[in-house]
């Protein structure tokens, strides 16, 4: 707004066309009122001069000038009304601070034309300013619009939330993790990081066979990549433990249970980058296992592999054509599990086959006709 626009608006609001000779006085009194209230110095507006507040916050000038105008024409109620409007406008664009070498900044973004040196010395500086002068300003009174100037460095510091953080140690300056798998050194972990304390989904493990960039902790595996254990479901809980950057231990537990897919846990370790040993079941012999008559699907002198990845037990009975020993070979080990007389029925001692191991049964002489071949397995 310009000076000419301001006085034209005063005439419109007051519905008076005879106030022309007094308009300069109304504007001058408004300037003085704004300077006193905001503790700033302003260039008095004229037909050829304006200032920043008149340009950007014209309501401050208009309401202050209308107070003077209505006092001049002796309309006290209107003068009181616009004084209240002016105070509301001041509150809306309330000044928070000044600094020693900067212009005043208002709530609406306005700046005064000239900084007030006295205010710079006596009132609270903005960030970067220095409180150097004595306390001459008004004493703050709660809820008083006329005393909202802060006059002490102590209050300024309080408003800026300045505290002595040294007593808090390094934690006062530490940075929180950026995600639930953030492994940046010296960051502060949150509840749920690395699967600890989480209510909901744990961090997802994308590839079981990758040793790098997998942090220790609890993970979920959901149809990801990599080698699952035999009978391992596509959805599982995976616990990662690290010995070094390349040697890790994985514990894999099915999360979908049932008669066909039991809840089972396997472990394995890596020996080098992306190189793992076999999965080994931690399931105890007999847990979720049953006896199966495998006579029709097993034969002597044939090598089988226990693909179930956990220990199974094998039982054999039958007849022998010649006197002989019955020998079981488990992996590289050989053990005698029974003896038979020619033409007589025999029962062998049961033997255990570890997960992923091979095994075979053969007589030392003659031919054996199996009567039963029973396996304790899943």
What's the sign of the alpha-carbon dihedral 195, 199, 205, 206?
Answer: negative
pLDDT (mean) for 38-64? 87
The helix/strand/coil state of 49 is strand
The predicted pLDDT at position 147 comes to 39
Q: Of all helices (H) and strands (E), which one includes residue 293?
A: strand 290-293
The predicted pLDDT at position 279 comes to 86
| Residue 151: pLDDT over 50 | no
pLDDT by residue (tens digit) across 108-123?
333 444 444 443 333 4
| 190-199 contacts at long range (C-beta below 8 A, 24 or more positions apart) | 193/217, 194/218, 195/219, 195/220
pLDDT by residue (tens digit) across 11-36?
999 999 899 999 999 999 999 988 88
pLDDT by residue (tens digit) across 71-120?
999 998 999 999 999 888 887 765 433 333 333 433 333 344 444 444 33
Confidence band of 169 (pLDDT split at 50, 70, 90): low
The domain locations on the chain are: 1-162, 193-281, 290-377
pLDDT by residue (tens digit) across 262-317?
577 889 999 888 889 888 888 778 877 899 999 999 999 999 999 876 789 999 99
The 10 Å Cβ neighbour count of residue 177 is 16
What's the sign of the alpha-carbon dihedral 162, 167, 173, 177?
Answer: negative
The predicted pLDDT at position 285 comes to 81
Confidence band of 167 (pLDDT split at 50, 70, 90): low
Confidence band of 221 (pLDDT split at 50, 70, 90): confident
d(CA 219, CA 236): 9
d(CA 370, CA 287): 27
Q: Which residues are CB-neighbours of 80 under 8 A, at least 6 positions away?
A: none
The predicted pLDDT at position 3 comes to 92
Tell me if 103 sits within 8 A of 115, measured CB to CB: yes
d(CA 238, CA 87): 66
Tell me if 237 sits within 8 A of 221, measured CB to CB: yes
| Residue 228: pLDDT over 80 | yes
pLDDT (mean) for 47-56? 87
Could you please state the CATH topology (level 3) that the domain comprising 290-377 is classified under: Jelly Rolls (2.60.120)
Half-sphere exposure of 196 (CA within 13 A, CB side): 10
Confidence band of 141 (pLDDT split at 50, 70, 90): very low
In the chain, what percentage of residues exceed pLDDT 90?
A: 35
d(CA 84, CA 73): 18
The predicted pLDDT at position 135 comes to 40
């Amino acid at each position: 707004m310009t000076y000419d626009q301001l006085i034209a608006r005063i005439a419109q609001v007051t519905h008076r066309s005879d106030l022309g000779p007094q308009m300069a006085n109304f504007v001058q009194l408004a300037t003085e009122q704004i300077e006193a209230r905001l503790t700033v110095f302003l260039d008095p507006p004229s037909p050829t001069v304006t200032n920043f507040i008149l340009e950007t916050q014209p309501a401050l000038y208009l309401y202050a000038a209308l107070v003077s105008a209505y006092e001049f024409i002796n309309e006290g109620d209107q003068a009181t009304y616009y004084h209240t409007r002016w105070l509301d406008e001041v509150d809306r664009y309330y000044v928070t601070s000044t600094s020693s070498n900067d212009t005043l900044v208002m709530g609406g973004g306005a700046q005064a034309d000239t900084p007030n040196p006295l205010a710079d010395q006596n009132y609270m500086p903005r960030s970067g300013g220095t409180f150097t002068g004595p306390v001459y300003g008004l004493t703050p009174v709660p809820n008083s619009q006329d005393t909202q100037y802060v006059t002490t460095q102590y209050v300024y510091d309080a408003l800026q939330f300045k505290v002595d953080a040294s007593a808090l140690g390094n934690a006062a300056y530490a940075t929180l993790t950026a995600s639930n798998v953030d492994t940046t050194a010296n960051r502060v972990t949150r509840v749920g990081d690395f699967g600890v304390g989480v209510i909901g989904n744990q961090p997802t493990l994308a590839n079981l066979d990758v040793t790098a960039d997998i942090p220790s902790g609890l993970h979920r595996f959901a149809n990801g990549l990599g080698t699952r254990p035999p009978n391992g479901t596509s959805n599982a809980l995976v616990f990662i433990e690290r010995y070094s950057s390349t040697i890790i231990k994985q514990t894999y537990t099915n999360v979908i249970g049932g008669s066909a897919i039991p809840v089972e846990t396997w472990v394995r370790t890596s020996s080098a980058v992306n190189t793992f040993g076999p999965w080994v079941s931690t399931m105890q012999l007999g847990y979720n296992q049953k006896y199966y008559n495998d006579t029709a699907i097993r034969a002597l002198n044939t090598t089988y592999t226990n693909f179930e990845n956990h220990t199974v037990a094998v039982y054999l009975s039958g007849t022998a054509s010649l006197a002989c020993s019955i020998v079981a070979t488990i992996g590289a080990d050989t053990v005698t599990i029974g003896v038979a007389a020619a033409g007589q029925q025999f029962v062998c001692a049961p033997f255990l086959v570890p997960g992923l191991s091979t095994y075979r049964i053969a007589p030392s002489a003659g031919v054996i006709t199996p009567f039963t071949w029973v396996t304790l397995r899943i």
